[in-house]
């Protein structure tokens, strides 16, 4: 299992689930999952999260 957000240990599956449940932006995924809310402030995971949002629209 790979973590998209390393700081908060959030998986791609978790993020996909949030997108399916209606999250459409990085901030909405952040609110729903905590991904992007870690120490790096999304510096390491934001691009990957936005890619998952794109691919699951």
| Residues near ligand FES (CB under 6 A) | 5-8, 35-36, 38-40, 42, 44-45
| Closer residue to ligand FES in complex, CB, 32/40 | 40
| Distance of alpha carbon 6 from the chain centroid | 10
CB of 21 to ligand FES, least distance (A): 19
CB of 52 to ligand FES, least distance (A): 12
Collapsing DSSP states into helix, strand and coil, what is residue 33?
helix
10: alpha, beta or left? (left if phi > 0; alpha if psi -120 to 50): beta
Other Cβ atoms less than 10 A from the Cβ of 3: the count is 15
| Closer residue to ligand FES in complex, CB, 43/55 | 43
């Amino acid at each position: 299992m790979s973590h998209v957000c390393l700081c908060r240990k959030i998986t791609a599956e978790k993020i996909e689930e949030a997108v399916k449940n209606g999250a459409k932006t990085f901030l909405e995924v952040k609110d729903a999952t905590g991904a992007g809310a870690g120490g790096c402030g999304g510096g390491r995971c934001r691009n990957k999260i936005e890619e998952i949002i794109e691919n699951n629209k």
